Amino acid sequence: MPNKSHKHPILVPVDFSHHSEAALIKACEMAQCMKLPIIALHVVHDPGDMPGYYASINKKNSLVRIEDLAMDMFEDFMKAVKKRHPKIGALRKAKTMLVVGLPVTKILQVSEKLNASMVVMGSQGRTGLDHMLLGSKAEQIVRLSPVPVTIFKA
């Protein structure tokens, strides 16, 4: 029998853009109303055949694993958002998760693994030829997700 006291989190994929910040803030507002936890997710795009190390501009000619660099950026992003929105309790309590892979696939996998109640994400809102040629990660998530997806355009 499922544990009814377990609260299914709201999953918020972020890419450090102002669109994902807006979605994170809205998700936190929703989470407070529904008394649900927030998990902010960043997917490091799998570089495939590229090496997993990048020279860091911040460090003198040193190599840094892409995941480590992404985690630093993720932490900086979350600190900055929390500083701009200090009164949002769900944001202060938000957990973070970083995974490596193809963004759409990983977002769907993490959503399923966490048994997320919903996915909330930002979108650039491309239209026209750009949208037709590139497709939108947000649109793909909407089409493929078994849980509700809310998209925020900033």
Domain locations in the chain as residue ranges = 10-153
Distance CA 137, CA 123 (A): 8
pTM above 0.85, yes or no: no
pLDDT for the residue 139: 87
Q: Residue 138: which of 154, 153, 121 has the closest Cα?
A: 121
Residue 79 or 130, more confident: 79
Q: pLDDT class for 7, splitting at 50, 70, 90?
A: confident
Mean pLDDT across the stretch 48-66?
Answer: 58
pLDDT for the residue 59: 54
Distance CA 27, CA 146 (A): 18
Mean pLDDT across the stretch 105-116?
Answer: 97
Give tens-digit pLDDT for 71-102. Answer: 999 999 999 999 999 999 999 999 999 999 99
Q: Which residues contact 47 (CB under 8 A, 6 or more apart)?
A: 66
The CATH homologous superfamily to which domain 10-153 belongs is HUPs (3.40.50.620)
